[in-house]
Structure 1
Amino acid sequence: MTEQIKQTDVVVIGGGLGGCMAALAAAKQGLTVTLTEPTDWLGGQLTSQAVPPDEHRWIERTGATATFREFRERVRDYYRRNYPLTEEARNNPILNPGNGWVSRLAHEPKIALDVLQEMMSPYIHTQRIQVLYHTVPVEVATEYDRIVSVTVSHTQVTGSVGQYTQLIGQYYLDATEEGDLLEQSGTEYVSGAEAKSDTDEPHALEHADPLDMQSITHVAAVDYVEGADFTIEKPAEYEYWREYMPSFSRFPILSWYASDANDTTKLKEFTLFPNDQGVTSLWDYRRIIDPAIWEEPLRSQIQEVSLLNWAQNDYYAGAVTGVPIYERTQNLESARQLTFSLVYWLQTEAPRLDGGKGFPGIRLRGDILGTADGLAKAPYIRESRRIKALYTITEHDVSKELRGAEGIKRYEDSVGVGSYSLDLHPTVKTHRTFYIPNYPFEIPLGSLIPVRMTNLLPACKNIGMTQIAGGCYRLHPVEWNIGESAGYLAAYAIQQGITPREVYESTEHVSRYQEMLIDAGVVLHWPEDVEQEVLNPQ
C-alpha cells in the first residue's frame, strides 16, 4: 500500500456536472485543480447515471449559464457533424436528437461525455485540471474550521498508481452525489426530511427524519426488435418486486399505473409504445435515439433506444445514504434488481393494448451506457446531504402557490437561476411524493456558505436548502450553475485572500464577485418578460 501527495490550488471531489463546472471555472481563473471521479466517465447524471437533461421552457434563450447553453449547442453540432441526419433535422435550430418528450435535448450519454471532455480539454491537456478516475474520498483531515487534506482511494489500481493519494489544496469543493465530504469533514449538514416546525413548509413532515430520503433509480438503456426474443434470465428478486405494492397505490410497482404528475394523489395509466388509444407512452418519454431523423440506409438498420427511468424502477424500499455499509450495499443491489425486474416484466408479463402480454423484443443495450449489463455505471441519486448554510432555501422561496403575486424571489446576492417544479419522488420511509408548481428561482450566495467551515464549498445538490426545495434545485442546469459559481467563488476568494463568508458579508465583494460571474456568462436574475409571463399566463 503506497500513498502519494498531490497539491493543487483547488480540490474538487466528485466529477458530476457540478464538479466538472467547478473545476473548469477555477481553471479558467488560472488555478490548478484536482478533480476526482468514482467511475471512468465524467458528467454524473448526464453520463454515468444516464439521465437526459430536465429543463425549463425558456432554456433556448435564457435561464442557464452561457457554458450550459454552449454545451447544448455543442451536442446538437456533434450530431450535425457526425450523424447522417435528414436535411430537415440538420437545419432544425432546436434539434432534439432522440425526440424524447422529457427533454428538449434527449441524447446519448456518450455524446454528453464527448462534449464535456471537449469543453474541458484545453485545461486537462495542459494539466490545469488533473482528473483522477475510479477515485473516492476516504478520510478528511481538518484543523479547527479548515480542511487541510483529503485522502482518496483509487478503486482500480493500475501500473505505478498508488492505492491512496493525499490531496492538498487551498479550497475543497464537495461535488459528490451524496455529500460525502460534508460527513467526512465534520461539516454541519442536514439530510432527509426536515420538520415543519423548523422550516414552516406546508409539505414538510411533522417530525424530522434524516433517513426519509427520495428514491434512487438505476437507469437502463433498451431498444426493441419486433419478432426477436431477448428475454433475460429471471432476476433473483423478481417475485418480490412483482408483488411489491407501494403504499400510495392499489397496483404493484410493476404495472402500468403510477402517480399522475399533475395530481400525485391520483394514478395515471401508461403503456409502452405510442398508440391511438389515448394512453400515454413511456417509450418516447426518454427516447435518446430516433432513426426517423436519420437518412437511409442507416435509418432502416438501427433501432430506437430509450432509457428506463420511470416510476416503475424508482427504488424507495430503503436508504443508501447515512446507513450502515451492509445496508447501503444491499439497497444499491436491490435497486439494480428492481430495474432488471422491470426489464423482465416488460419482456414477459407487461399487458399490451392488443390484449396480449410481454414484449420479448426488448433488448438491454449496454453499449449505449458503456457497461456489459445494460444498466448505467452509477445509480441516479436524487438527494444529497446538504450543508447548514448562512441562508437556507425553502418551499416558500420557490412555490408558485406560496409566492402568489410576489412573483419570482429576487436575491441581491444571486449567483444563478433555474426553474423546475418541486418534484419529490417517493421517499423511502413515508413514501411521500408530490409535484408542486414553481416560479422560476434564483440561487442565493448565502446557500453556498457553510455556517462554520471556511474552505469547503458545496458544488452540486448539497447547498443550503430543504428536502422540498431540493426537488427543483437538483436538476441538470441548476447543478451545473451551482458548480460553476462555486468554482468562481473559490477562485475569487483565493485571488482576494479572503474567505467565502467574508465575500458574502461585504456588499463590495459580492458585487465584484458577481461581476466575475456575469463576465463568465452566469445569469444572475430572470428577465422581466419571464416574470410577467409566469404572473400573467395566457
Structure 2
Amino acid sequence: MKRRNFIELLTVTSSAAVVSPAFANSSLKISPTDVNSTKAVLSADVVIAGGGLGGCAAALAALRNNLTVILTEQTDWIGGQLTQQGVPPDEHPWIETHGATQLYRNFRKGVRDYYIKNYPLTDESKSKEFFNPGDAPVSALCHEPRVALAVLQSMMDPYLSSKKLTILLEHQVTRAQVAGDEVKALEAVDLVTGEQLILKAPFFVDATELGDLLPMTGTEFITGAESKVQTKELHAPVKPDPNNIQSFNMPFAMDYVPGGNFIIPKPKEYDYWRNLVPKLTPKWSGKLLDLAYSKPATLVRRELAFDPTGPNAGDPLNLWHYRRIISKSNFKPGTYAGDITVVNWPQNDYFEGNLIGATPEQFVHHVNRAKQLSLSLLYWLQTEAPRPDGGHGWPGLRLRADVMGTRDGLSKYPYIRESRRVKAVFTILEEHVGQDNRAQITGKKTGNTSADFYDSVGIGYYHIDLHPSTAGNNYIDFESMPFQIPLGALLPRRMKNLLPANKNIGTTHITNGCYRLHPVEWSIGEAVGMLITYAMNKKVIPRAVREQPGMLKEFQEFIHSQGIEIKWPA
C-alpha cells in the first residue's frame, strides 16, 4: 500500500480491524478468548508507545533482559529526534567518554562504522578516532537520518528475528483501558489501513513525543510553565501558564550546487513570514527571516553568516555549518556535488500554535503553517539572502527530500521540544541543576556541582535552553551543570504500571530545557526498560524499588552492570 505523509495519515478514519498479514511472524499472542472480537488482541511483557530515542532505548533494555516488547510508532521511521525529526544529536563535550550509556555509545560507534564500511571516505577521514561526517560544531557526530535509522534497525533486527519484538509502524494509540491505578490495555489504529488493535501487557511506557498516554490513562500531568511561587525557581515566571510551550520546528535538508537553479515555487505564506517581526518579550532582534537573531544568553542582536562556500570556522557563526550532516571534504573527490546541511535554526522555529492537546485538525493546521515557515526560509535563502559578494540569493540551494524521506522535503514529524510532564514522585527543579539557582541554595559563590540524587539511574548534560514560546517568551538560556537522572522523576505518583520515557518525566518547564536532548532521552528510556525488567523479576510495582533502600541499591548495581553510569567522575 502506498505510504503517505504522517500529516495525511492523521485524517484516516478508524474501521473494524482484522489481523494484518504484517503480524504473521509476530511473537505476540492473540488470546483465544478474543478470536471473535472485531479487534485483534496482541500481548507482550511491555507495550511502548512511541518509537523515538527513549522508546527505542527502553525496548532494547527490556529485550536484552529477555522480555517481549510491542513498539508502536506513528511514522514509518523509528528514531525520533535523530530520524523522523531530522535533527543531528545535541551532545555535551564529554560524550565520547562520559555522560551516556554504553548502549548509546554502541549506537554512536555503529554510525561511524556504517560510514567506514559503506561510504567512500578519504583515508584521512577513515583514520580519525572520532570521525564526524558533517564536521558541524553542534555535535561530534552530525550524520544523516537514514544512517541513524539503519543503525537503530540493525540493533533491533536480532529481536525481530527471534520474535521477541514487534514494531508497529504507522500505528497511533487512540485510547486506553484503565482499571483503578493500572493500565490494562491500549487501543491502536493502523494509520494506513484503519485496522484497530488492542495491545495488552503488564507494563506500559509512554515514549510519545507529546506525552499522549498521560491524558488517555488519567495519569496526572502538567503542561507549560510553573510559577515562581510553585517551584521557587530563579527563572520561573511570576504567574503559571499551562499554555506557555516552547516552539517546535519542521527541519529540512539542503545541499548547494554551484551554478544550479533549484528555486522552489514561492510559498503561499511567504509574504507573511518574510515580513514578520516576532512579538516576543524581551523584544526579538528584528524580522524573523534575517541573518540575525536574539542571542539566547543575552537576548542582544547577533549577526549571523550564511555562506555554503565559506570556510569551516569563524565568527559570526556560519549557519551553513551549524547542523551540516555531510561535509564533502570527508569523502573522495566527486562523491558529493556539495555539502548537505539540516535547517533547524531560530528562523524556522514556529511559536504561533501549541500541539499539546490539539485536535487532529488543529495539529494539521499548525504543522502545515510550520512547514510554510520552513519553506519560506528556504525560498528567502534562494532568492533574497545577502551574499558576501554583495549579491542576493543562493539559487543553487537544493531541497533534499530524499534525506528526510518525505515528498515535501520536510521532516516526517515536528521536532518537539516540550511535552506534557507527568506529576512524578520527585520533580527536578532549577535549584538541582541550574548554576545560579544552585549557588543560592548551597550558599556558595558558584553552583559548580548539581544535586546528588541518592536514587540516580543515569547522567547527562546540556545547558538549560528554552526556545521562544507560544506565550511570547523570548529565549531563556543559562548555565547548568552535569546532572543525574533521579528515579523519582520517572515514577508517576499514582499509576502503578505506566512509565514515562521521553520529555514527559518529572521536570519543570525550566529543567525540561536540559533534560530533553538526544543522549538524555536515551538514558531515560534505557533506565525505564531496565526498571520494568527488575520490577517484573521482583514482582513489585516500580515505585517500590525506590521506596526500599536495599532494593534501590540492588537495582542501581543491576543497571551499572549493563553499562549505565549513575554518577559523574569527580
TM-score under structure 1 normalisation? Answer: 0.95
Deviation at 1:325, TM superposition (A): 3.8
Q: Tell me the equivalent position of 2:140.
A: 104
- In 2: Cα distance, 1:345 partner to 1:416 partner: 43
Residue deviations 1:236-268 (CA, integer Å, cap 9, x gap): 1111111111122241111111121342x2111
1:331-352: per-residue Cα shift (whole Å, max 9, x none)?
1111111001101111111122
What corresponds to 1:286 in structure 2? 323
Contact 2:234 2:437 in 1 (8 A): no
Q: Is the 8 A contact 2:458 2:524 kept in 1?
A: yes
| Distance apart, 1:283 and its partner CA | 0.3
User: How far off its partner does 1:406 sit?
Assistant: 5.8
Residue matched to 2:30? none
Write the distance in 1 (CA, Å) between the matches of 2:522 and 2:396: 37
Q: Which residue does 1:38 correspond to in 2?
A: 74
Q: How many angstroms apart in 2 are the aligned matches of 1:432 and 1:28?
A: 43
CA deviations over 1:204-252 (Å, ceiling 9, x no partner): 1111111110000000000111111111111111111111111222411
Match of 1:269 in 2: 303
Contact 1:108 1:368 survives alignment (8 Å): yes
Q: Tell me which amino acid in the other structure corresponds to 1:272.
A: F
Do residues 457 (structure 1) and 499 (structure 2) align?
Answer: yes
Q: Secondary structure at the match of 1:471?
A: helix
How far 1:120 moved relative to its partner?
A: 1.6
Partner of 1:506: 548
Q: CA deviation at 1:405?
A: 4.5
SS at match of 2:503: coil
2:249 to 212, 217, 220: 217
CA offset at residue 412 of structure 1? 1.1
Name 2:43's counterpart in structure 1: 7
Give, in whole Å, the separation in 1 of the partners of 2:55 and 2:112.
23
Letter aligned with residue 432 of structure 1? N
Distance 1:452 1:277 in 2: 52
Q: Tell me, in whole angstroms, the C-alpha distance in 2 between the residues paired with 1:87 and 1:367.
A: 27
Structure 1 residue 10, shift from structure 2 partner? 0.5
CA deviation profile, 1:34-82 (whole Å, cap 9, x unmatched): 0001111110000010010111111111110001111111111111111
Paired residue total: 521
Of 267-276 and 58-67, deviating more is 267-276
Structure 2 residue corresponding to 1:166, chosen from 198, 218, 235: 198
Q: Indicate if the aligned counterparts of 1:195 and 1:205 stay in contact, CA closer than 8 A.
A: yes
Mapped contact 2:248–2:351 kept (Cα < 8 A): yes
In 2, Cα distance between equivalents of 1:16 and 1:189: 20
Write out aligned runs for 1:81-92 (5 A).
81-92=117-128
Aligned to 1:532: none
Matched residue, 1:74:
110
The range that moved more, 322-331 or 457-466, is 322-331
**Displacement, 1:296?**
3.0
What residue identity is the alignment partner of 2:317? Answer: T
Q: 1:413-450: CA deviations, max 9, x gaps?
A: 10000000000000111223121111000000000010
Shift of 1:295: 1.7
**Greater mean deviation of Cα atoms: 347-356 or 404-413:** 404-413
In the alignment, the residues of structure 1 paired with residue 44 and residue 316 of structure 2 have an alpha-carbon distance, to the nearest angstrom, of: 55
Letter of the 1:134 counterpart: E
What is the identity, as a one-letter code, of the residue corresponding to 1:35? L
Give distance in 1, aligned partners of 2:412 and 2:561.
Answer: 36
**Alignment check: 8 A CA contact 2:285 2:294 kept:** no
Question: Is 1:192 equivalent to 2:228 in the alignment?
Answer: no
AA aligned opposite 1:424 = L
Question: What is the CA distance between 1:304 and its match in structure 2?
Answer: 0.7
Contact 2:246 2:418 in 1 (8 A): yes
In structure 2, the residue matched to 1:419 is: 461
Matched residue type, 1:187: T
Kindly provide the amino acid, as one letter, of the partner of residue 442 in structure 1: Q
SS at match of 1:249: coil
Name the CA distance, whole Å, in 2 between partners of 1:242 and 1:46.
29
Q: Structure 1 residue 369 and structure 2 residue 401: aligned?
A: no
Paired residue type of 2:347? Q
CA distance in 1, matches of 2:287, 2:265: 21
* Partner SS state of residue 284, structure 1: helix
1:47 aligns with 2:100: no
Partner SS, residue 303 of structure 2: strand
1:308 aligns with 2:343: yes
Change (3 A) 1:503 1:477: same
Asked if the contact 2:434/2:447 (under 8 Å) is kept, the reply is no
Aligned: 1:343 with 2:400: no
> Which of residues 396, 414, 429 in structure 1 aligns to 2:471?
429
Q: What is the letter of the counterpart of residue 260 of structure 2?
A: A
1:261, 1:316 → 2: CA distance?
16
Partner of 1:384: 419
Secondary structure of 1:283 counterpart: helix
Matches of 1:511 and 1:495 in 2, distance apart?
15
C-alpha distance in 1 between matches for 2:85 and 2:358: 22
Pairing 1:492–2:534 present? yes
User: Which residue identity does 1:426 align to in structure 2?
Assistant: P
Q: The residue matched to 1:85 in structure 2 has which SS?
A: coil
Q: Distance in 2 between matches of 1:406 and 1:40?
A: 43
Using the TM superposition, give the Cα deviation of residue 197 of structure 1 relative to its aligned residue in structure 2, in angstroms.
Answer: 0.8
Give the partner amino acid of 1:183.
P
Name the counterpart of 2:513: 471
* SS, match of residue 322 in structure 2: coil
Deviations 1:336-381 (A, max 9, x none): 1100110111111112222211111111001111112211111101
Q: 1:415 to 1:277 in 2, by over 3 A?
A: closer
In structure 1, the partner of 2:61 is: 25
Q: What corresponds to 2:21 in structure 1?
A: none
Gaps of 5+ in 1: 529-538
In terms of mean alpha carbon deviation, does 234-243 or 315-324 score higher? 315-324
Q: Which amino acid aligns with 1:526?
A: W
1:442 aligned residue (475, 479, 484):
484
Quick one: which amino acid aligns to residue 225 of structure 1?
V
The SS at the match of 2:321 is coil
- Contact between 1:220 and 1:376, CA under 8 Å: does it hold in 2? yes
Deviations along 1:133-188, one digit per CA (max 9) or x if unpaired, are: 0011101110000001100111012xxxx711000000000000000000111100
